[in-house]
Amino acid sequence: MYKKRFTNSRSGGRKWLVGGGVAVVAVTSVGVGLGVASAAEGVPTVNCPQVVINVDIPAKAKAEVDQNLALLDTQIAEANKRLVDTQGQGGANFIQNAILGPLAGKRESAINRIEIAIGRQGEKPDLNAAGLSKCTLNEAAEGDDTNAGEGENGNDNGGNNNGNNGGGNNGNNLGILTNTCDTSQLPPHDGFQNGNRCVSTEFGEVGAAANNPTLLITKAPTQVRRNQAFTIQVSTRNLIRDRFLAAGQGGYYVESSVLQGGLVRGHFHTACRILDSTRQAPAPDPVPAFFVATEDSKGGAQADTVNIQVPGLAQAGTFQCSSWAGDGSHRIPMMERANQTPALDSVRVRVR
């Protein structure tokens, strides 16, 4: 175990007192709103409540705890920099929605990870992650940090933002691994179709179960000849087919899910790929023999049917032809419950 005391100095530096050998209580404080507080005259700075760890920190948890303590400081510094960079932008709620709200979610995630790291080696502490996640603005003069703590702005708007988009356990005590890219070692996703990236876009709006999209292939041939054109009929419900951010132009995973009248705005895909085996899952990376996205500005609460024209498949064999709904950023739309079937369907077509 380690005895650790951490404080923020006025310059934003750290003072550490570390001793080993004997298990003692650790007291760690972080996050009082320093960082780049003096970056620009007249620009407010972020004021966050202190995070105090007043339990033993097991030696095996020390590195992870240290990492997340440092991350809390980094988050404040980044928020302060964003206050400078975006000065004068947006409306009355811009700072809350674009800076303080997302900061609350990131802070709660980091504090939860500290709790989880300690809990893996011993009793999990309650550091009040939800309460300590909300920050306010310090409008005082440079160097004056007397307004630290939770204010009405952080409690109200920040709490609502975190409930919709933020991190942590969301009250379920499951010990989630992460819900941000803060701890990822991968580069950020840039909207193009590349793997080994971390996607930071919030999931967005999820509708009620009765309004969640469904999809069904209602008609398709079981056999066709090579290069013979055929039609697949696809029916969708609760999907407004008017939103498609071109993936090839950087529109992949960049937009949150958006509802209109409770319904998902998006499109659906249809693809046919050959199966090398009907007993083993296929390789995921080959490009399908046929692919098309349908965004026809139709669709809605009532089921309708779209005819997908396949010009023909050149190779003989068994094909899997599938259709699946997508939101504006090509993700299968979210469902209210885990036991709902997503908006997708597949059939087998034998090419002779």
Q: Give the torsion sign (CA, 5, 8, 9, 15).
A: positive
- pLDDT, tens only, 201-258: 889 999 999 999 999 999 999 999 999 999 999 999 999 999 999 998 999 999 999 9
pLDDT number for residue 92: 60
Question: Of 133, 165, 197, which one is at a domain's C-terminal end?
Answer: 165
The CA-based angle 230-331-195, given to 5 degrees, is: 100
Show the tokens assigned to 194: 């590349």
Domain contains 338 = yes
Quick check: 35 and 12 in contact, CB under 8 A? Answer: yes
User: Quick check: 151 pLDDT over 50?
Assistant: no
pLDDT number for residue 35: 35
Domain contains 47 = yes
Q: Where is average pLDDT lowest: 143-152, 266-275, 307-316? A: 143-152
Domain contains 127 = yes
Same domain, 131 and 231: no
What is the C-alpha separation between 2 and 51, in angstroms, rounded? Answer: 17
Domain contains 54 = yes
The CA-based angle 330-333-338, given to 5 degrees, is: 140
Mean pLDDT of 326-338: 95
Domain contains 194 = no
pLDDT number for residue 8: 35
pLDDT number for residue 47: 92
Mean pLDDT of 124-144: 77
Element housing 46 (H / E): strand 45-47
Question: Of 102, 136, 165, which one is at a domain's C-terminal end?
Answer: 165
Same domain, 114 and 215: no
First and final C-alpha spacing in the chain: 69
Question: What's the chain's average pLDDT?
Answer: 80
Same domain, 238 and 291: yes
Residue 98 Rama label (left phi>0; alpha psi -120 to 50; beta): alpha
What is the C-alpha separation between 184 and 338, in angstroms, rounded? Answer: 26
The CATH number covering residue 275 comes to 2.60.40.10
Which residues make Cβ contacts (< 8 Å) with residue 154, sequence separation at least 6? 100, 104, 134, 135, 136
Higher pLDDT, 9 or 114: 114
Show the tokens assigned to 163: 């409930």
What is the C-alpha separation between 254 and 272, in angstroms, rounded? Answer: 26
Query: For the chain, how are helix, strand and coil distributed in percent, rounded to 5?
Result: 20, 25, 50
Mean pLDDT of 186-191: 89
CA proximity to 117, closest of 171, 163, 178, 75: 178
Same domain, 220 and 331: yes
Domain contains 245 = yes
b vs e for 98-108, b when ≥16 Cβ sit within 10 Å of the residue's Cβ? bbbbbbbbbbb
Q: Record the pTM.
A: 0.55
Same domain, 123 and 236: no
Domain contains 13 = yes
Quick check: 17 and 4 in contact, CB under 8 A? Answer: yes
Quick check: 161 and 104 in contact, CB under 8 A? Answer: yes
**How many Cβ atoms are within 10 Å of 196's Cβ, its own excluded?**
8
What is the C-alpha separation between 319 and 314, in angstroms, rounded? Answer: 11
Reported for 293-297, long-range contacts at CB under 8 A and 24+ positions apart, including other chains, are 293/244, 293/267, 293/268, 293/269, 293/326, 294/234, 294/241, 294/267, 294/268, 294/269, 294/270, 295/241, 295/242, 295/243, 295/244, 295/267, 296/241, 297/241, 297/242
Higher pLDDT, 189 or 149: 189
In single-letter form, the type of residue at position 61 comes to A
pLDDT number for residue 330: 95
Domain contains 203 = no
- pLDDT, tens only, 275-288: 999 999 999 999 99
Show the tokens assigned to 233: 């009929």
Please state the domain count of the chain: 2
- pLDDT, tens only, 65-98: 999 999 999 999 999 988 888 887 766 677 887 8
Q: Print the domain residue range for 298.
A: 209-351
Show the tokens assigned to 61: 């948890």
